[in-house]
């Protein structure tokens, strides 16, 4: 399904609509301007309707507590107050200003303007990501072409159509296509129509986009990142059981599918006996969390089960060589390993546990410097600053409590950068 000029079309209409869009874009850029207040008003109406339960039927595929969590987050994150704060935090003062006159130089005006046309290629590992990415493009006044991920179930399109229903003037700035990732010609045409491509996904996906985008098109990468939890001096941590239960719940609710999810639990030790003992201790907590946060939706349960068994078969075939025995529970596993390499876990509630003495943190992080994002931290309070500084110097951009590794915090950046700033340009005009 395609959303074009506020109307839906069959996917077979893609080529014709892209040709029409090529004619429309210069006219829209020359004659129309999108006020961020229009976007904020539409998003606020969406927030109000979400809270009232109008879209509960769209949330039935999520576990009940997850759906309720999304609604609670909408109260703040979709509010006009938060969106205004986001604009101010990420863009500062967007009004024009005149540079101070300097003898011998012309005086210039400086202003921030949209890039023009953004082509969003969204990943399917995060709920609502396609709609969220498009909303950021709208807030910055850009025309937005969105390619839906193959895993999208229609939720994104419904939410975007709702925004247009609230504020019809948005239709000139929104074009959504369900183009397959194998349709290279279609994606190349969308990139050719754009000033920038905002791509979410794996290293392979980003490399593919670099290959299809014309020279001069700005590539805005939101690439695959890795998260881990670091545990130090657990015996000295007040209420350590609660901390570990929070980590287990985080793993169970995210299924380790997000860039911020915990793939590895690192222990501040070089002793593999401690690693195995921790793994044995953590297993029942993870098993309990997975059971409490299991979805009742049969399709999702089948997907999760198939994924877990696929990972296990790969292990049997030798494609996932880990030292130490895999410690299995019902639907989960904890995997001790003697190396300290940061890597992707088998996911789906199967977590790696590795030794990493704090004196080796810098070396391990440097080896993975292109894929660093989030570190959850469980340690005595007096060690928190030292370890946080070590993570930040090593390249991490988020350091949180273990339970909050994938939590969103108002005002935070993404992968160390503000998206809105990347979606605009600065122009100079001589007086």
pLDDT in tens, 145-203: 999 987 777 788 889 999 999 999 999 999 999 998 889 999 999 999 999 999 987 88
Q: Are 283 and 420 within one domain?
A: no
Residue 410 lies in a domain: no
pLDDT at 47 (0 to 100): 92
Which tokens hold the place of 301?
A: 């349960």
CB burial of residue 401 (10 Å; 0-12, 13-18, 19+): middle
Which tokens hold the place of 158?
A: 């419904």
pTM score, whole prediction: 0.82
Query: What confidence category does residue 125 fall into, taking pLDDT thresholds of 50, 70 and 90?
Result: low
Domain with 200 in it: 2-224+415-430
Greatest C-alpha distance within the chain: 75
Residue 159 lies in a domain: yes
Lowest-confidence segment of 293-302, 347-356, 394-403, 411-420 by average pLDDT: 293-302
Residue 35 lies in a domain: yes
Residue 86 lies in a domain: yes
Q: Are 272 and 384 within one domain?
A: yes
**3-class secondary structure per residue, 16-60:** HHHHHHHHHHHHHHHHCCCCHHHHHHHHHHHHHHHHCCCCHHHHC
Q: Are 360 and 425 within one domain?
A: no
b/e burial code for range 22-49 (CB count within 10 A of at least 16 → b): eebbeebeeeeebebebbbbbbbbbbee
Which tokens hold the place of 412?
A: 């935070």
pLDDT at 94 (0 to 100): 66
Contact status, residue 337 vs residue 353, Cβ threshold 8 Å: yes
pLDDT in tens, 87-121: 999 998 766 767 666 676 778 888 899 999 999 99
Question: How far apart, in whole angstroms, are the C-alpha atoms of residue 428 and residue 431?
Answer: 10
Question: How far apart, in whole angstroms, are the C-alpha atoms of residue 184 and residue 182?
Answer: 6
Residue 409 lies in a domain: no
Q: Show Cβ contacts of residue 172 under 8 Å, excluding neighbours closer than 6 positions.
A: 5, 24, 28, 32, 143
**CA 112 to the chain's CA centroid:** 26
Bridge partners, residue 372, by sequence: 226
Contact status, residue 221 vs residue 197, Cβ threshold 8 Å: no
Average pLDDT, the chain: 88
Q: Are 397 and 370 within one domain?
A: yes
Average pLDDT over residues 259-267: 95
pLDDT at 56 (0 to 100): 83
Residue 316 lies in a domain: yes
Q: Are 251 and 395 within one domain?
A: yes
pLDDT at 173 (0 to 100): 98
**Residues of the chain by 3-state class (helix, strand, coil), percent to 5:** 50, 20, 30
Residue 127 has pLDDT above 80, yes or no: no
CATH of the domain at 234: 3.40.309.10
- Closest alpha carbon to 63 in 243, 290, 310, 282: 290
Average pLDDT over residues 42-61: 87
Average pLDDT over residues 254-281: 95
Contact status, residue 391 vs residue 399, Cβ threshold 8 Å: yes
Q: Which residue has the higher pLDDT, 288 or 101?
A: 288
Q: Are 369 and 270 within one domain?
A: yes
pLDDT in tens, 30-42: 999 999 999 999 9
Average pLDDT over residues 216-233: 92
CB burial of residue 204 (10 Å; 0-12, 13-18, 19+): exposed
Residue carrying the six token digits 């349709």:
183
Q: Are 209 and 279 within one domain?
A: no
CATH of the domain at 151: 3.40.605.10
Q: Are 163 and 220 within one domain?
A: yes
pLDDT at 109 (0 to 100): 85
Q: Are 167 and 259 within one domain?
A: no
**CA 36 to the chain's CA centroid:** 23
Residue 136 half-sphere exposure, CB side, CA atoms within 13 Å?
A: 23
Q: Are 91 and 201 within one domain?
A: yes
Domain count, the chain: 2
Q: Are 30 and 164 within one domain?
A: yes
Q: Are 130 and 172 within one domain?
A: yes
Residue 335 lies in a domain: yes
- For the beta sheet containing 332-336, the strands, ordered from the edge strand earlier in sequence to the opposite edge, are 327-329, 332-336, 350-355, 262-267, 226-231, 372-378, 398-401
pLDDT at 206 (0 to 100): 86
Residue 145 lies in a domain: yes
pLDDT at 266 (0 to 100): 98
pLDDT in tens, 362-379: 999 999 998 999 999 999
Residue carrying the six token digits 């950021």:
136
């Amino acid at each position: 399904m395609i959303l074009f000029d506020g109307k839906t079309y069959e996917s077979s209409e893609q080529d014709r609509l892209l040709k029409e869009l090529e004619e429309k874009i210069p006219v829209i850029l020359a004659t129309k301007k999108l006020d961020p207040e229009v976007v904020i008003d539409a998003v606020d109406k969406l927030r109000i309707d979400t809270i009232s339960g109008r879209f509960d039927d769209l949330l039935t595929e999520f576990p009940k507590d997850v759906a309720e969590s999304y609604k609670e987050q909408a109260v703040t994150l979709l509010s006009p107050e938060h969106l205004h704060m986001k604009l101010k935090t990420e863009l500062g003062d967007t009004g024009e200003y005149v540079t101070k006159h300097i003898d011998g130089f012309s005086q210039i005006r400086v202003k921030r303007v949209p890039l023009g046309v953004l082509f969003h290629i969204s990943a399917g590992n995060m709920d609502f990501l396609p709609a969220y990415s498009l909303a950021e493009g709208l807030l910055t006044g850009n025309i937005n072409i969105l390619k839906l991920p193959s895993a999208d179930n229609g939720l994104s399109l419904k939410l975007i159509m709702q925004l247009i229903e609230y504020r019809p003037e948005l239709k000139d700035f929104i074009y959504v296509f369900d183009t397959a990732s194998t349709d290279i010609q279609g994606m190349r045409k969308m990139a050719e129509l754009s000033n920038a491509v905002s791509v979410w996904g794996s290293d392979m996906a980003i490399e593919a986009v670099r290959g299809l985008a014309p020279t001069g098109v700005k590539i805005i990468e939101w690439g695959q990142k890795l998260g881990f939890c670091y545990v130090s001096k657990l015996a000295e941590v007040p209420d350590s059981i609660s901390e570990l239960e929070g980590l287990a719940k985080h793993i169970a609710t995210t299924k380790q599918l997000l860039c911020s999810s915990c793939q590895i639990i690192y222990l501040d030790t070089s002793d593999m006996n401690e690693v195995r003992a921790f793994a044995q201790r953590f297993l029942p907590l993870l098993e309990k969390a997975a059971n409490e946060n299991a979805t009742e939706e049969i399709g999702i349960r089948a997907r999760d089960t198939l994924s877990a068994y696929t990972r296990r078969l790969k292990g049997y075939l030798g494609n996932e060589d880990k030292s130490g025995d895999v410690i299995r529970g019902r639907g989960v596993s904890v995997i001790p390993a003697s190396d300290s390499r940061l890597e992707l876990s088998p996911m789906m509630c199967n977590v790696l546990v590795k030794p990493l003495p704090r004196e080796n943190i810098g070396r391990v992080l440097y080896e993975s410097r292109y894929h660093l994002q989030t570190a959850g931290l469980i340690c005595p309070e007096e060690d928190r600053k030292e370890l946080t500084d070590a993570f930040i110097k090593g390249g991490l951009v988020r350091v949180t409590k273990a339970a909050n590794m994938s939590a969103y915090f108002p005002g935070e950046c993404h992968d160390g950068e503000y998206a809105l700033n990347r979606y605009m340009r600065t122009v100079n005009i001589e007086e």
